[in-house]
Amino acid sequence: AQSVTQPDIHITVSEGASLELRCNYSYGATPYLFWYVQSPGQGLQLLLKYFSGDTLVQGIKGFEAEFKRSQSSFNLRKPSVHWSDAAEYFCAVAGAGNNRKLIWGLGTSLAVNP
Amino acid sequence: NAGVTQTPKFQVLKTGQSMTLQCAQDMNHNSMYWYRQDPGMGLRLIYYSASEGTTDKGEVPNGYNVSRLNKREFSLRLESAAPSQTSVYFCASSYAGQGVYEQYFGPGTRLTVT
């Protein structure tokens, strides 16, 4: 069965430090992968997506993610975190078939210390 | 271009009351979705509509009904609200064609059932 695991429930980093949020997926075919961000009290916003091609994907707000098929991972990175990056981050993979459903991880909550 | 809009933003119901959550999108998307978000449980799909005129159950459909009123609008109805339905509800939409497309989210409805 398809699944997405975000191993870290909560991460705290200092402002200016680098960030890596982990995402592992289980999927039999070529995955379509997404990272979303949810600021407090807001809806979800797409940060970036991977469908095919270059395995290093650039997104909005200075984020990037790298698809590693051998490790079934799609980790999100940012070289220098800003206080405004404090939010919940969700990884998702598109399910099989034509129903367009996404399989979601449980999210990683990011806190940023000044 | 408003994207995905949801009404109301907040609602308090008593157990047994009914209500309808409204969702509309102006992006000419074919597919629409209703999710609920609860602490520690991520996003769970309640119902979705792959295209106008079709609806299907997601992973947690019990206690809910949906109507795809037209291509723009997708409503979620609670016929007899229960405290277990206290949650944040998100509507999302996506294009549906060949391939997989990202979902765009509304701002959410925060529902409390007492």
Report DSSP letters for B21-67, one per residue.
EEEEE-S--SEEEEEEEETTTEEEEEEEESSTT--EE-S--TTEEEE
Mutation target among B102, B104, B109 for the A interface, most CBs of A within 10 A = B102
A48 phi and psi angles, rounded to 5 deg: -170, 170
Are B60 and B85 in contact by the 8 Å Cβ rule? The answer is no
pLDDT tens digits for range A30-54: 788 999 999 998 999 999 999 888 8
Q: Where are the beta strands (DSSP E) in chain A?
A: 3-5, 10-14, 19-21, 24-26, 33-38, 44-50, 56-58, 64-68, 73-78, 87-94, 102-104, 108-113
What is the percentage of chain B residues whose pLDDT exceeds 70? 97
A70 phi and psi angles, rounded to 5 deg: -65, -25
Q: What is the pLDDT of residue A99?
A: 60
Q: What is the pLDDT of residue A97?
A: 63
Best CA proximity match to B103, nearest among B111, B93, B112: B93
* Cβ–Cβ gap A107/B48 under 8 Å: no
Smallest Cα distance from B48 to chain A, Å: 8
CA dist., res. A45 & res. B96, Å (int): 19
Collect all residues of chain B within an 8 Å Cβ-Cβ radius of residue A42. 107-108
Tens place of pLDDT per residue across chain A (114 aa): 789 999 999 999 999 999 999 999 998 777 889 999 999 989 999 999 998 888 999 999 999 999 999 999 999 999 999 999 999 999 999 876 656 688 999 999 999 998
Chain A residue closest to B38 (CA)? A106
pLDDT tens digits for range B14-57: 999 999 999 999 999 999 999 999 998 899 999 999 888 899 99
